Amino acid sequence: MSSRTGGRVRAPRLPSALGAFVRKELHHIVRDRQTLAILLLMPLVQVLLFGYALRTDVRDLRVAMVDPTPDVLTVRLRNRLESTPRFRVVSTATSTALLEDQFQRRVADVALVLPTSFADGLARGDRTPVLLVTDASDPNSGTTMQSYVRAALADFESDLSAPGRGPVRIQVASRMRYNPTLESANLFVPGLIALVLTLVSALMTAISLSREKEQGTLEVLLVSPLRPWQIIVGKVLPYLALGFAITCLVLLAARVVFAVPLRGSLTLLLAESVLYTIVSLSLGVLVAARTTSQRAAMLGALVGTMMPTALLSGMIFPISSMPGWLRPITNVVPARWFIVIARGIMLKGAGLGILWHETLVLAGMALLLLVAATRSFHARLD
Amino acid sequence: MTVSPDHGHAIEVRGLTRRFGTFTAVDAITFDVAAGEVFGFLGANGAGKTTAIRMLIGLLAPSAGSARVAGFDVSTEAEQVKRNIGYMSQRFSLYEDLTVRENITLYGGIYGLSDGAIAERMASLVERLDLGRDLDTRVKSIPLGWKQKLAFSVAVLHDPKVVFLDEPTGGVDPITRRQFWELIYATAEQGTTVFVTTHYMDEAEYCDRVSIMVDGRIAALGTPAELKARFGGETIDDVFVRLARPGAAA
Amino acid sequence: MRTLRFLLRKEYLQIFRDRIMVAQLLLLPAIQLALLANAATFEIKSARLVVVDEDRSATSRGLVDRMRAGGRFELVKSTTSAERADDAMMRRQAGVILRIPREFERDLVRTHTAPVQLILNAEDGAAAGVTLSYAQRIVAEYASELAATLRLSTLGGEGPVAGQGRLDVRARGWYNPNLDYRFYMVPGILVQLVTMVGTLLTALNIVREKELGTLEQLNVTPVTRGQFIAAKLIPLWSLGLVALTIGMLVARFAFHVPMRGSVLLVFGTASVYLLAALGVGLLVSTMVSTQQQAMFVTFFIVLVYLLMSGLFTPVRSMPIWAQWIAQANPVMHFIEIMRAVMLRGAGLREIARSLAILSAIAVGVFSLSVRQYAKRAA
């Protein structure tokens, strides 16, 4: 693709100066081996980390049981819990004295505190109170753990039914549509593409443009016969190509290593990526136009593009979980729309018929930002 | 401090060599610079000038050979060498976000001058360069010519035995260059040895002696008059072109 | 020591004159705390539910009512066509589909078992798993409720039956009873903040002098490497603590995050941790020559650090090999300690192990990078 872009630039319609300029910019990128290596390595490492190491589910739950009057039912409950691989009973005590210490030392995640004469109460048919304590300093896993234990207790309760009369069971057959095994690679790869594209296009462009400003080489370009839009295009084209290459790399890695599906059209996905890259590039140019030093541009690009992309796009944290005032704000984050599109194409096999709304928003943003970027550049130079 | 044991030689270079991989940047150069001399170190770009200077000021270790600067061996006594030299690089090296006063105080402090000595030298410097009003201006906003003069004055603030100037007058107008050389002469008169590289061949004529480096070797060494006589040129520029051309073609 | 004093004065002057640096110190903590603390949660406030009720019985309606009652599910559509439900999910209008098959009630009465189907949109990642467990719980509770009524109807209402006791589960979340996500995120964000200041600013600061040529100037003066490194790192070390102080104040007064342990312990740990953070910054500065490179390299390292630190996803959910790697990650230990001290009120005894590992890593990284710096610059 990069060679094709170069070929198009060399076409007679555009001034050859622009071609030379694009080549110069490509040289900058290719010569800086270190940055290039990192730009290529970073997405790969991220794919591997997200795919292999990062999980949000809670496996291995360590349960501390407390029963002042241990009996056969305690054992039954314990066996019930341990019959699923999710639970591991790490201690059975008769008092709660040790709990605080176990939680502090983080050797138990959940404590199940039974009342005195647990079995008697149940046998009498009383409502028997059971205390479920979780370490909620991490509420994310805290809530999940609570749900798991509650579900297990509900099962245990059904088992208690008198012999001869079957328990009432509503068997839940659950299906995780579009990602049946909840593979974390499947979930994160679309977001990762957005993150990497933002990094390459917004951050790199902002820094390299403001660097030329700082070093005075931009002025040299400005007095050349090149028009402002040509300078912007020249600056931006190589990064577009780089972003495209990295998208392909991430997709390939995700495919080969984790067999992440691509249920929809590859062409559509790549086209949408290019659209998103244009949005990010324009943001990068805007940041560079508004700032006076490399470091200011860096800060601006971090706060203005990277942080929203990582946090407000739904990439890691679901937007539906955010507080009401924050949700509308996510609508101005381009990555939020791109991620819906990328997930739609990759996981659901959706086409333009379903994703036209999001695509339209992105296209609108691209147009708006492109105009704003060219303008701001203009104003600066005059 | 101590009298150098080398019979008045401020710099003694013997077979100094630096290789980068298979490429020899500086190839066994040998020369002496007398104390108080203004020594011009010429050469085309890539001839090995900068590599040689970096070895003399202790930024780069030699691959072979030896050099003594201000009486100290650059390989084994780098710290003493640093105490006795000043250096002004082709890149402007004062802190632009500090004021003139803060820069002078910083470098005075680094070279171990007492507070009294710093104040005294600052006063004389201000007088010499007529900097009174700009003392509390950030260096960023004073004109380039003054910056260069200031950088030089800071480089000799601690009265070094030898001062190395790496293309000190790049990008400066002819009048300022003239003034700059007056500063150099004034410094040399006080006994400081000046080791200067330059691109301007007219400046070479101001030097007591010049050497011309070609392809890592010293191709010629002598007073400007001697060189012109030996190589038959009107100016040092002629001599330089005659020496550097065949080397560049090869 | 006199030289060091002059160098330190220069560093502090430069830092305070640099508006971007000051902005970075004040702005980043505020924005990050505000965003991360609010955005970084997996809690599902409400999931959009589409019901395909093919049974249309009192029992199936009862189940739908229970689903709606908890406030976790918002019924957006009720249909009898599975295709229409599927389409709603494809268009992201539905997060969950509950399908109650025909004969649901009859099967329950006759055999005491009946199936239902839950389909979740797993595209939205973490949300799906949590939503499923909510739904399963509601279904299970409804089942035991039904058990009671069914029994009553068959046995003629004779009250509690032997062996039919019910569990009354009361849950309590220690250290964070309201399950406030911000309490959990904020200590981690503070760590990230200190890391960014310590590592990124160190790398940028040194590389900037490299780019400007002033580093070379300092290298030909009698300033020793030790003096130079000390003059660079002491101000940044103090800046890291300043950033932490600002962050802690914001956390306390804007987010009401508790501080159950000793503040001194937090700052003591931070002082040790900063050695590691500064060391990494120093190491980066030896590997690169421009600020741009410094930023990308630092960014890369910090990112891997943070992802492997348990800031976003629990370390205990990682595969074993990744947990071992995380043990070597200073960020992970610092976050653990911060959470322990701030939320659980842990004392020195409780965090001793983490602190010991952290100190070992910090001293190791720091001395390695100082040695590397000296070697490179020579």
Mean pLDDT computed over every residue of chain B: 86
Beta bridge partners of C170: A131
Please say if the pLDDT value at position A359 is more than 90.
yes
- Give how far A132 is from chain C: nearest CA, Å: 4
From C239, C227, C255, C232, select the one nearest C342 (Cα to Cα).
C255
Q: Render pLDDT for C287-335 as a digit per residue (tens, 0 to 9).
A: 888 888 888 888 888 888 888 888 777 787 788 888 888 899 999 999 9
Report how far apart, in Å, the C-alpha atoms of B193 and of each of B8, B11, B32, B187, B209 are: 11, 9, 12, 8, 12
Spell out the residues 6+ positions from residue C127 whose beta carbon is closer than 8 angstroms to its own: A318, A320, A321, C42, C44, C47, C95
- The residue extents of the domains of chain C are 2-40+179-377, 47-149
Tell me what ipTM this predicted complex has: 0.80
CA distance B14 to B64: 9
- Tell me the two tokens of residue A236: 């931006």
Report how far apart, in Å, the C-alpha atoms of A106 and of each of A131, C182, C190, C344 are: 19, 21, 22, 11
- Give how far C1 is from chain A: nearest CA, Å: 32
Beta bridge partners of B38: B194
Cβ-Cβ contacts under 8 Å, C5 against chain B: 109
Task: Identify the pLDDT of residue C153.
Answer: 55
CA B134-B139-B144 angle, to 5 degrees, is: 95
CA distance A218 to C359: 47
Confidence of residue C71 (pLDDT cuts 50, 70, 90): confident
Confidence of residue B3 (pLDDT cuts 50, 70, 90): very low
Spell out the residues 6+ positions from residue C33 whose beta carbon is closer than 8 angstroms to its own: C186, C189, C247, C250, C251, C254, C255
Task: Identify the pLDDT of residue C168.
Answer: 67
Task: Identify the pLDDT of residue C158.
Answer: 42
Instruction: Please state the separation of Cα A307 from the chain's center in Å.
Output: 12
Instruction: Please state the separation of Cα C48 from the chain's center in Å.
Output: 26
Helix ranges restricted to H, chain B: 49-56, 78-83, 100-110, 115-129, 144-155, 174-189, 201-204, 224-231, 236-249
Task: Identify the pLDDT of residue A71.
Answer: 83
Chains B and C are touching, with contact defined as 3 or more CB–CB pairs separated by less than 8 Å: yes
Q: Render pLDDT for C334-343 as a digit per residue (tens, 0 to 9).
A: 998 998 898 8
Residue where the block lists tokens 């190839």: B27
Confidence of residue A382 (pLDDT cuts 50, 70, 90): very low
Confidence of residue C359 (pLDDT cuts 50, 70, 90): very high
Q: Are C33 and C255 in contact (CB under 8 A)?
A: yes
Q: Render pLDDT for A55-114 as a digit per residue (tens, 0 to 9).
A: 666 778 889 999 888 888 888 888 888 888 888 888 888 888 888 888 877 788 888 888
CA distance A19 to C110: 79
CB contact under 8 A, C174 and A103: yes
Q: What percent of chain A has pLDDT over 90?
A: 12
Task: Identify the pLDDT of residue A310.
Answer: 83
Q: Are B15 and B28 in contact (CB under 8 A)?
A: yes
* Partner residue opposite C175 with nearest CB, options A45, A135, A175: A135
Confidence of residue C284 (pLDDT cuts 50, 70, 90): very high
**Pairing between β-strand C96-100 and β-strand C113-121 as defined by DSSP bridges:** antiparallel
Phi, psi of C103 (to 5 degrees): 65, 20
Q: Are A49 and C305 in contact (CB under 8 A)?
A: no
Q: Render pLDDT for B17-45 as a digit per residue (tens, 0 to 9).
A: 999 888 999 999 999 999 989 999 988 87
Task: Identify the pLDDT of residue C3.
Answer: 85
Burial profile C305-340: b = 16 or more Cβ within 10 angstroms, e = fewer = bbbbbbbbbbbbbbeeebbebbeebbbbbbbbbbbb
CA distance A94 to A153: 20
CA B155-B157-B162 angle, to 5 degrees, is: 60
H/E segment holding residue A317: none
Q: What percent of chain B has pLDDT over 70?
A: 94
C179: nearest CA partner in chain A: A139
From C256, C265, C192, select the one nearest C28 (Cα to Cα).
C192
- The residue extents of the domains of chain A are 2-54+182-381, 61-159
In chain C, residues 260-289 whose CB comes closer than 8 Å to chain A: 287-288
- Give how far C364 is from chain A: nearest CA, Å: 25
Confidence of residue C51 (pLDDT cuts 50, 70, 90): very high
Cβ-Cβ contacts under 8 Å, B96 against chain C: 212
Average pLDDT over residues C208-229: 86
Average pLDDT over residues B201-224: 88
C208: contact with B, CB 8 A cutoff? no
Q: Render pLDDT for C222-269 as a digit per residue (tens, 0 to 9).
A: 888 888 999 999 999 998 998 899 889 888 888 888 888 899 999 999
Task: Identify the pLDDT of residue A124.
Answer: 73
Average pLDDT over residues C198-202: 89
- Tell me the two tokens of residue C357: 């590992």
Q: What percent of chain C has pLDDT over 70?
A: 90
CB contact under 8 A, B95 and C10: yes
What is the architecture of the domain spanning C47-149? 3-Layer(aba) Sandwich (3.40)
In chain C, residues 335-354 whose CB comes closer than 8 Å to chain A: 339-340, 343-344, 346, 350
In chain C, residues 161-200 whose CB comes closer than 8 Å to chain A: 161-177, 179-181, 183-184
Q: Would you identify the CATH topology of the domain A61-159?
A: abc type-2 transporter like fold (3.40.1710)
